[in-house]
Structure 1
């Protein structure tokens, strides 16, 4: 049981409305695609949703939910960023994770280079 401190949980007081959510996703999609004629079809292909749903998301009439939202976030950096901002999480937390990923990948590249750097020419190396 939680102790009574007189304060509400932040997520209970900082909710965004459905309209704000739909608008934020629409702005992200419009920034991603501009006035592209193929935007609806691309969004539908990414998510498995209908063209009509994609058109409604682009117009801000309603927003994607569940699996459709995750599929959009997977494909669109702008939608992903909008979700992070709407969640109230600082965007800088993404940079920390990206830096950790960068460090791991750099270490991996160093290991691979040390393995293949034993003096044998690879298929893309010429004498």
Structure 2
């Protein structure tokens, strides 16, 4: 299940039953919040926000009683730039399908924002 979810994040390719038809997603961004109630809506939001395939670097996956949580960074190319986002998602699963997602995202950082962060902040851990 986790590998199929990561493949979806990287490529937009979705296994037929990865999402329940009535899957609920709650996406929190730095200054915005969206909710979806169908698999088609999740795909539309993902495609709008991340129209190009990318790379996902998983920092941690932990099983929960209801599914799993995943912490990761994403990088992708779009409009001539390399973009970056850091996210954490709680994934609830019933059977072999995802039924609910709570998504927390830094927002998408263009190259200028990444440079600004690099120049102003020293991280203790990458």
Name the structure with the higher helix share: 1
Name the structure with the higher strand share: 2
One fold, TM greater than 0.5? no
Normalised to the residue count of structure 1, the TM-score between the two structures is 0.27
Normalised to the residue count of structure 2, the TM-score between the two structures is 0.27
Larger Rg: 1
